[in-house]
Each structure stands twice: as C-alpha cells, then as structure tokens.
Amino acid sequence: MKNLMIVESPAKAKTIERILGKDYRVVASFGHVRDLPKSKLGVDLEHDFQPQYIVPAKARKTVKMLKDMFKKADKVYLATDLDREGEAIAWHIVEAVKPKKDQEIKRVVFSSITKSAVNEAMGNSRSIDFHLVDAQQARRVLDRLVGYKLSPLLWKKIFKGLSAGRVQSVALRLIVEREREIEKFKPEEYWSIEGDYSQEKSEVKFRAKLIKVNDEEFKSDNQKYTKDLEKKMEGAKYEVVGIKSKEKSRQPHAPYITSTLQQDAYRKLGFTAKKTMLLAQKLYEGQNIDGKQMGLITYMRTDSRNISPEALSMIRKYIGENFDDKYLPEKPVFYKKAGKNVQEAHEAVRVTYASKTPDIAKSFLDKDMGRLYELIWKRTMACQMMPARYDTTSLDIEGEHKDDKFIFRANGIKMLFDGFLKVWDYSLKNGEDVVLPELVEKEKLDLKELFVEQHFTKPPARYSEATLVKELEKNGVGRPSTYASIMSTIQTRGYVQKEEKKFVPQEVGMLVNDFLVKHFANIVDVKFTAKMEDELDEIAVGKKEWVPVVRDFYEPFAMELREKEKNVKKEEVVGKEKIDEKCPECGKELQVKFSRYGKFVACTGFPECKYTKPLDVSEEDKKKVEEAAPCEKCGGAMIIKKSRYGSFLACSNYPKCKNIRSMTSQLDIDCPKCDLGKVVEKRSKKGRVFYGCSGYPKCDFAVWNEPTEEKCEKCGFIMTKYKSGKLGCEQCKKKDKLEDKGKKL
C-alpha cells in the first residue's frame, strides 16, 4: 500500500476514497484517539501544565489498526477536519501510533469534500501546525482545570454531583440574569389608536396610526384620556397633509457561518443547535446522490464569510443560466469579516454543487437533512444575487376638531424588483405588499372606524437557542465548534430546562450561578471569558505561548479555590432549615435539603434513615397520593419524588423496590385501543408531553396530540387536537403516510 489517508469518520472516508481512487486507502480514526483520563486531573501542575494523555479503552482497537496501516504505507496523509480540534486529532494520531522517523507524513485540509478541493489540498500538503495544536491543548487544559478543581468545591459547599465549566457557566449566568430581569419586570399600561380611512365615495380602506396630538407625540397610559380623544376624533374632519415616497433597497444576507446557520435552522426549521450540527456534518462528509457519494456542503464549523473564487464562479454561472440577467450583479459580492480573529483561509458554509438544487438533493436525503440543505442552498445563491428594491410611502393625515389636531400616519410598501428574494424566503407586513391608494395633498378623507386598544409592556424574552447563540457570539464567548455543546451541557446538568423552546433556569442552576458570581467572578464574567478566547486565538496564530496563558489564569484561580474552601461555609450557600415535623420512620427531626432537582425534605438521621419527601406538595398532588394504588411490584405505599421532568410516584420501599409511576393527569376518555384503561397525560424521557393508556404496558396506545371525545367519521378512532386548534385523526394520518410511501398496512 503506497498511500494511506486518515480522516475522522467512515462516511468521510468513503467519500474521499471515491475521489482519490484505487491508489489510496482511506480509513477513519473515529474522532480522538487520545484524551485526558476521566479518573484524575491529568494535568501536571508542577511541570508547565503538561497534559497526561491516555488512549481510552474505546480507541485502543482503532490505534492498533492505525499502527498496522502505518507500517504498510509509504506515505501517510492526515486529513482530519480543518479546525484546531482537527489539527489536534492529527497530532494525537501521530503521538499514539509512533511511526518510523523516516516515514513521510503530510497534513492536508479542505473545506469541502469535492474532487477539486481534495486534489488541491493534496497538492498543498504541509506539516502539522503546532500553533493550532497548542491552542486546542490550552483550551482542553483550561477546561479540565476549571471542571476538575471547581466541581469538588461545589460538592462540598452545595451538594454532590454538581459541576462547573469555563464557558458553560457564562451561558448559565446570561440565562439566570435574564430570568431575574423578567421576575423584576413591572408591566406598564399604554394605549394605541388606529383608524381605517378611505377616499370620499370609496369603499377601499387603509389603516393609519395616531402619532401626534396637538404637535406632541401621542402617549397615553390611561383609559379616560384615550376615550376622550376617541370621541373628539369621531367628530373630526380629515385631510392628507403630507406624502413622502422613497425607493429603498434590501441587501442580501451574508453566506452562513456556524452561528447564523444555527440561528436560522432554529427559527425556520425548529432544529436545535446540536441537531443542526449533526445534520450539517453528514452533508459535509458525504451522501449518496444518484449512486455517487459526494460532500454537499463546506465545513460547518467556521466563522468566515469568505467564498473561494472557484465557488463564486460556480454560483454566478448557475444564477446566470437559471435566472434573468437582471438578478446577477456585475461583480461577485464580498462580505465583511464576522469578527477580529476570523480565519479567512476557511470558507463560509455553502453548497459544493450549485446544480444540486434542493429538489434534486431532497429526493436522495431524509426529510430533515433535505430541509437543512435547502436552507444552505438558498442562502448560497441569495448571497450572490442583486438587492431587492421597493417603494416606501409615508402618508400623514390630519384631523381637526375645534381646538384639537391629530396626526395619523400610514405606511405603504410596494415591491419593485425581488432580487435575491427570488430564492430567499421573505415576508413583508401580513406577507404581502401594503399598497396605499393614489392620494394628493389637501385631499379629504373619510374616517370609517377607530380601533382603540389597551396594551401592557412585556418583559424581555427568555433566551431561545437562536438568541443565546447570538448573545454568546456578540460577546465573544465560545467559538463555532462549542455553541452546540454549551447548550447541551447546561441542560444535561439540570441547570436549565426548555419550556416552550425557551431556556428556564432551575433552582439548582440559580444556586450554582449565585455561588460562582459571588466567589469566582472571573469564571462567569463575560468580558474575562471573551479575553480568554482572544488569547486562545493568539496562540493559534503563534502570537502567544500556551503555557504562560494557562499559568496566568490558573495561579489566581488556585488561590481563590484555597481561600473559598477554607472560609465559605455550606450553610451560607444553601442554608440550614429545619421544619417543625418528625420523621415518620425514625422519629428524628426533618430538615430542608437541596438536590439537583431543587429543595426537598430529608431526615436528619441520614444515612441511617433515608426518608425523603418533596418540600411543597400541592393539595392536588396529595390527593393523587391518597388515591394512588399500592406498588404493583411489592405492595408498598407510593410517595411523591422529583426529577428533572417534574414530580413522579415512587415506591416507599426504595432501594429494595425501584418501581416508579408517572403523576398522570387523567382525561375522562376511555382508551380507544383496549376500552379498559383511561387516557392519561404522560412525559417522554426528553420531557415531552404525550397521551397514553393508564393500562400500560398491557396496552401500548400513545399519541402526541391531546385526545378529544370526538370520533373519526372514517375509521371511528378518537380525534386529537393539533397546535393549530384543528382536530385530526392520528390513525388515518398514519395510514395515509404509509400508503404514500408504498408500505403495506
């Protein structure tokens, strides 16, 4: 074997091997082959923070395979991803395999897996870039020092099982601070007045909003004043006093970078950042399109808005051949950098083949992958098309009643040329042009109807995945490769939960955040964390050495750790609250304790007595416990416990009996499948509400939408209520789907 190439994933290996041909063997490392040990710190604090890497058990077989392959190869090409982590993986492979000193080993990188990109990379091979390796190593060491040094302190001062992360803790702080802004918010009343107008002897109406009363801006915070104005306006005479028209243009959006792709995929498709990156990874590594394995997009972890000259030619050629000439700019469109440390050698996230339209690609891709590909294809085309042009009209209407004057304003918009919007989905007000009638100054108008509404100011919105990524990026916290893991980690730890797709901090998350803000301000300081990211960027380009950067962070951090461990008492953090109640099992006093799921009541006789119960139990939940049947496994009484997804019933004989039962809300509807049980509300492992039979597991009836008492006229199954409010039949819907796919029922 002459040539060996190593990549991270089998899918990527398959795509590249097809491009390179029979003279190359392409194999996968399956990600990292070395890492820090999980059982200890793994960083030598006495010798310049040297990492003590090991080959994890799951990677040993891969390393053995790679050693055998290295021995058989004349040349080895390390083609791991083009970011810092990919560079580090390439270096770890060499360190783990320990090849012969004279063996030729080259590093190749490409932002897309196409024939031209791979061949160009092969012609520009290089050695491993140790500046990039050092930057990744510094990040890994910093994160390990924070995680393994700070987490044990959280165990001592709060409770066991907690953890802290260098970047995740900043994200948690943003979420907690937003929640407290919402809690402090006091809504303020305000009123609006709008009117429907028409030309004399015309039934065509248009709407205008009151902006001025007697030459002062209209503001009202009470009903009486607003209603008095309404009466005066009803008797006023109206005429046009000002018309302004202006042609405006709307520029196309820049091509996607990681953060904007994640934000758009969330807003338009409802995808989490994690799901977006998993799908994008598959599109990048290659999919089978019409019998050929090909990479469909460029590398998805990037902060560069750059598009290669070859790609620009390809995109412009497609636009020129498939759209009218007026849609193609005279020259390619270039975009400003997204930040100060952007690696312009990288490319934006774009499609690799303009001719592989969404309709073509989607016929070979699964549904979600096809939807994401369509989003990227449209953005790729749109960013190199002409701006959209439209007319805007501002119309001022004056009303006069005795000594009072009122100014209403109407705004119109009319599309003149759609430009990039030809491919990019858009909407104007109400999804269409707002065209005002042809009017002239001093023209008399008829007031048809007034609309007076009371409003209240709203608190700032909780962060969604899209808005949190935007905020992190704006503050320089995290990098393209870390956004998805940041949000995944704070949820896995139970510090935040999603409610209606928004992040809500949990009690334990607030407790951890408050402890860190008070005692480790730098760890959760946005500016400090952003400065650390900048220093990592400087290491990556050779402007700084990694060891001094880590030392400058660690030495003051270690001093703080020692001081807080000595002086901060647990009671100061979580409190020590006893309740006027005795343990029903051993008679000792009960006290309030804290767990990752919030406060609960426990016996002071722990660990000899393991009695616990929720702190606050509603009357409804108490009734559920009283009505709950004994444990079906051992006959013990059922008690309420809490998890990250809320309350549930558990056997009181735990740990001898580990039976649990959901705290179901029972609907007064018979199960349509077995006719024996009742339909109850349940939660999936991910916390999503669904409806199933109370007789589970004997009956496996389950639907996502809320069942009703209505029956389907076609099949007799119960109708369910969709989010839109419409009723539908789950059974017929499933049958139709299967028939569309040609499957037998």
DSSP class per residue in 497-562: EEETTEEEE-HHHHHHHHHHHHH-TTTT-HHHHHHHHHHHHHHHTTSS-HHHHHHHHHHHHHHHHH
For the chain, the structural domain boundaries read: 3-128, 159-184+467-553, 189-250+393-456, 258-382, 670-745
pLDDT score for 743: 41
The CATH number that domain 189-250+393-456 falls under is 2.70.20.10
Tell me the average pLDDT across 519-526: 92
Mean pLDDT check: name the lowest of 34-43, 178-187, 258-267, 695-704.
Answer: 695-704
- pTM, 2 dp: 0.80
Percentage of the chain beyond pLDDT 70 is: 91
Q: Which one from 24, 238, 266, 299 is the annotated catalytic residue?
A: 299
Residue 612 C-alpha from the chain's centroid: 36
pLDDT for position 467: 96
547 near 49, Cβ under 8 Å? yes
pLDDT over 90 at 236, yes or no: yes
Could you report the per-residue pLDDT of 633-657, keeping only the tens digit for each? Answer: 787 777 777 665 556 778 877 777 8
Beta pairing, strands 646-651 & 496-499? unpaired
Give mean pLDDT, residues 88-102.
94
Of 119-133, 184-198, 300-314, 643-657, which range is least confident? 643-657
Instruction: Quote the DSSP letter at residue 654.
Output: T
pLDDT of residue 206: 95
Mean pLDDT across 382-401? 95
Task: For residue 151, give the amino acid letter.
Answer: S
Burial of 729 (0-12, 13-18, 19+ CB in 10 A): buried
CATH of domain 258-382: 1.10.290.10
Q: Over 90: is that where the pLDDT of 183 sits?
A: yes
| Residue closest to 354 by CA, chosen among 303, 301, 298, 302 | 298
Alpha helices in 196-308 (DSSP H): 223-234, 258-264, 273-285
- Pairwise pLDDT comparison (572 vs 272), residue with the higher score: 272
Instruction: Give domain 3-128's CATH number out of 3.90.1170.30, 3.20.20.70, 3.40.50.140, 3.40.190.80.
Output: 3.40.50.140
pLDDT at position 627, please?
65
CA distance 503 to 491: 9
Higher local confidence (pLDDT), 543 or 580: 543
Least confident range of 314-328, 382-396, 581-595: 581-595
Q: Does position 738 have pLDDT exceeding 50, yes or no?
A: no
Which pLDDT value is given to residue 360?
93
Is residue 299 annotated as a catalytic residue, yes or no? Answer: yes
Q: What is the pLDDT of residue 685?
A: 60
∠ CA(297), CA(302), CA(303), 5° rounding? 130
- Does domain 159-184+467-553 fall under CATH 1.10.460.10? My reply is yes
Task: Note the pLDDT of residue 734.
Answer: 55
Determine the average pLDDT of the residues in 170-184: 96
Residue 744 has pLDDT above 70, yes or no: no
